[in-house]
């Protein structure tokens, strides 16, 4: 990853997209957890838990991206 002084502020469109992606990944992780909890087959449970973990990792990556841009974000007028 590049250092903070090489990053450019995210556009509002990029921010909206990242927020939507975080929301989607969260929802998919919840669906996978629910499917794992209701599945009778251990292989299906294991697969759903694996998918849930992947969606949570995607969410973490998106959140880290936002945090890495936090220091360079333009301030909002009060």
pLDDT band at 10 (very low <50, low <70, confident <90, very high): confident
Q: Is 63 helix (H, G, I), strand (E, B) or coil?
A: helix
For 22-73, the pLDDT digits (tens) are 999 999 999 999 999 999 999 999 999 999 999 999 999 999 988 888 888 7
CA distance 75 to 23: 24
Residue 6 confidence (pLDDT) above 60 = yes
71 Cβ contact list (under 8 Å, min separation 6): 4
Please tell me whether the overall predicted TM-score, pTM, comes out greater than 0.85 for this model: no
């Amino acid at each position: 990853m590049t250092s903070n002084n090489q990053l450019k502020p995210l556009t509002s469109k990029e921010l909206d997209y990242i927020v939507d992606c975080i929301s989607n990944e969260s929802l998919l992780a919840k669906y996978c957890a629910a499917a794992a909890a209701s599945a009778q087959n251990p292989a299906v449970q294991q697969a759903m838990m694996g998918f849930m973990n992947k969606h949570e990792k995607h969410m973490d990556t998106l959140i880290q991206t936002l945090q890495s841009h936090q220091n360079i974000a333009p301030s909002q007028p009060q």
